[in-house]
Amino acid sequence: MRSSQKFLNKFHKSKSKGFGLIEIIIGSAILTVSLIAISTYFQKSLQLSQDSGKTVQAGFLLEEGVEVVKFFRDTSWVNISGLTAGTSYYLQFDGTKWATTSSNVFVDGIFERKFVVDNVSRDANDDIVSSGGTNDADTKKATVSVSWLGRNGTTTKSISTYITNIF
């Protein structure tokens, strides 16, 4: 009986040593998977934060673009009415004044900002119409667009407003 008891004791000792190794492997696997999941979460959060920052900056650039077009109008209506309808113009700031240019200007090396001035037509009731009607020489439609290249392609945001000759 004694020899069978010794055999069983050896069997239980070797069996418990194996369970310790398995527990270490399973614990390491759970820890590894958890760390990978946390790392992926933080990486995705950082990407979304960067995208959100670019969208906010594009919004500010759109607002600034509309303000510059209004500034051109306030300086002289010829600055607006003299532009060719349907042509893209880029805004350029030299540190003291704004100007329009036909060559592409990138803001911060990322954002492309342009604006287009279109003629406005009015019907017999003096309402703005998309087709037909008579041309209103004292009203123009200005559309400012900001584009940038992201991970998933080019993103473009636009805003349109009507500019009138108030002077």
To the question of pTM greater than 0.75 for the whole model, the response is no
Give the H/E segment covering residue 5. Answer: helix 2-75
Query: 3-state SS of 134-165?
Result: EEEEEEEEEEEEEEEEECCEEEEEEEEEEEEC
User: How many domains does the chain contain in total?
Assistant: 1
- Residue 10's domain comprises 2-164
What are 115-167's pLDDT values in tens digits? 999 999 999 898 999 888 899 999 999 999 999 998 889 999 999 999 999 88
What are 87-129's pLDDT values in tens digits? 999 999 988 999 999 999 899 999 999 999 999 999 989 899 9
